[in-house]
Amino acid sequence: METLLQVPLSLFQFDRTRQAAPQVFEHMREQIIALALPPGTVLSRIDLAAQYGISQTPVRDALIRLAEEGLVDIFPQHATRVSRIDVALARQAHFLRRSVELEIVRTLAAAPDAALLERLRAIVDRATRMLEIHALDEFSDNDQAFHRALYDAAAVPDLHALVRRQSGHLDRLRRLHLPIAGKAREVLRDHAELVAAIAAGDAARAEAVLRDHLSGTLAHLDDIRARFADYLK
């Protein structure tokens, strides 16, 4: 598969107050997580530089950062490819995320905040509308926004960045799982139940809902592997 950035670069605007390499990294990472650049895609530094309209140096730097997260495999003097999904790394990311977010929802349920609850309900409502028009990319972004709001409310935004850096393989698994019948509805239900548990101050219920919510994708790993064998290690 050749390099093909699915989000039109006419819609991608560089922030001239920031260096180019971090922006290329962030954009390409989004494309990889969304599977617009699926596992096995060849990433040509020359082609990417031409598409972005920049020199090869920031593209090289972005690819190195992607390799550090295990999202691309760089074979010197040969090729760079989007990596296959490493299930072992996905399991480790799940362990980390579950550990952190269980503590977060316990903390939030101990002192329910009206502003947070309003924000979470608005995110759930928006996700419902996205699902009705089958906008799964936007739905997935909304899912991420829901969880980011929990980290922000618990005053641990840096932990969100840490977990995110470790979760590339898990997030790709979740994106493969999302279109499978019933998964998106399950996500909506879990989010709504989690909001209700936090609002009620029921920490035990919030933890139980979150634990079940985060285990869904790995619990369906055999089904995902059967459908997307070429994408997984």
Q: Which residue has tokens 């650049």? A: 37
Mean pLDDT of 212-233: 94
Token pair of 101 as six digits:
């977010």
Q: How many CB atoms lie within 10 A of CB 173?
A: 27
Taking CA 66 as the corner, what is the angle to CA 61 and CA 68, rounded to the nearest 5 degrees? 95
pLDDT tier, 1 (very low <50, low <70, confident <90, very high otherwise): very low
CATH topology of domain 87-231: Four Helix Bundle (Hemerythrin (Met), subunit A) (1.20.120)
pLDDT digits (tens, 9 = 90+) for 117-147: 999 999 999 999 999 999 998 999 999 999 9
> Which of 11-20, 22-31, 121-130 has the least mean pLDDT?
11-20
Q: What is the pLDDT of residue 76?
A: 84
Per DSSP, the residues of 79-136 read EEEEPPB-HHHHHHHHHHHHHHHHHHHHHHHHS--HHHHHHHHHHHHHHHHHHHTT-H
Listed residue (55, 53, 189) closest to 131, CA to CA: 189
Of the listed ranges 22-26, 54-58, 74-78, 181-185, the least confidently predicted one is: 74-78
* Residues carrying CATH 1.20.120, the chain: 87-231
**CA gyration radius, the chain:** 19
Across the range 28-32, mean pLDDT stands at 94
Mean pLDDT of 29-49: 93
Task: For the chain, give every residue range classified as CATH 1.10.10.10.
Answer: 9-82
pLDDT tens track for 89-105: 999 999 999 999 999 99
Q: Thinking of the domain 9-82, which architecture would CATH place it in?
A: Orthogonal Bundle (1.10)
pTM: 0.90
pLDDT (0 to 100) of residue 11: 61
Q: Any bridge partners for residue 85, and if so which?
A: 232
- The CB-based long-range contact list for 137-140 (8 Å cut-off, 24+ gap) reads 137/34, 139/178, 139/184, 139/187, 140/34, 140/174, 140/175, 140/178
Mean pLDDT of 54-66: 96
Q: Please check the confidence at residue 228 and state whether its pLDDT lies above 90.
A: yes
User: Tell me: the pLDDT tens digits for 147-172?
Assistant: 999 999 999 999 999 999 999 999 99
Stretch 221-228: mean pLDDT, rounded? 94
CA 201 – CA 60 distance, rounded (Å): 49
| Residue 215 confidence class, pLDDT cut points 50, 70, 90 | very high
Residue 194: the pLDDT is: 98
Q: What percent of the chain has pLDDT over 70?
A: 95
Give the per-residue pLDDT at 2: 46
Q: Determine the length of the chain.
A: 233
Q: Residue 3 pLDDT more than 70?
A: no
Q: What's the rounded mean pLDDT across residues 8-28?
A: 83
Mean pLDDT of the chain: 93
- CB-based contacts of 153: which residues, under 8 Å, 6+ apart? 108, 113, 116
